[in-house]
Amino acid sequence: MNFEIHKYILLAGAGFTSNCDGFLAKEMRDQIFNSEAVENFPPLRQLLIDESEGDYESLYQRVVYGDYSAQLKEALTKAVMSAYGELDKAICYFYSAQRSGAVSSYPHIHNLKRYFLSHFDGGAGGNVVGYFFTLNQDLFIERWDDGEQFWISPGMPKQSLRFSHDVHGRAASLPPEYRLTVPDAEAVQKISSAYSQRISSPSRFYYVKLHGSLNWWSSGEKQAMVIGGNKAGQIAREPLLQWYTEEIFKKVLSCPNRHLWVVGYSFRDEHINNVIAESITNHALNLYTISPSDTTTFTAELAKSPYGEILLARLCKHFPYALKDVYPADGRDTLAAQQIHKALQQ
Show Cβ contacts of residue 96 under 8 Å, excluding neighbours closer than 6 positions: 169, 171
Do residues 68 and 79 both lie within one domain?
yes
For the chain, the farthest-separated pair of C-alpha atoms sits apart, in whole angstroms, at 59
Do residues 13 and 28 both lie within one domain?
no
State the DSSP code for 183. P
Do residues 163 and 37 both lie within one domain?
no
CA distance 259 to 257: 7
CA distance 114 to 28: 30
Host domain of residue 234 = 4-20+107-343
pLDDT for 245 equals 97
SS3 for 131?
Answer: strand
Is the Cα torsion angle 319, 20, 214, 37 positive or negative in sign?
positive
Do residues 80 and 195 both lie within one domain?
no
Q: List the one residue out of 293, 337, 338 whose CA is nearest residue 315.
A: 293
Do residues 164 and 249 both lie within one domain?
yes
Helix (H) or strand (E) holding 274: helix 270-283
Listed residues 48, 82, 105: the one ending a domain: 105
The model carries a pTM of 0.92
For the chain, 346 residues long, give each residue's pLDDT as a single digit of tens: 567 899 999 999 999 999 988 999 999 999 999 999 999 999 999 999 998 777 888 899 889 889 999 999 999 999 999 999 999 888 888 887 776 666 566 677 778 888 899 899 877 666 888 999 999 999 888 887 655 556 788 888 765 555 544 454 554 556 666 788 899 999 999 999 888 776 555 567 899 999 999 989 987 668 899 998 789 999 999 999 999 999 999 999 999 999 999 999 999 999 999 999 999 999 999 999 999 999 999 999 999 999 999 999 999 999 999 999 999 888 889 999 999 999 998 8
Listed residues 60, 84, 105: the one ending a domain: 105
Do residues 128 and 53 both lie within one domain?
no
pLDDT for 320 equals 98
Pairing of strands 315-319, 286-290: parallel
pLDDT for 165 equals 46
Find the helix packing angle between 25-33 and 56-64, rounded to 10°: 60
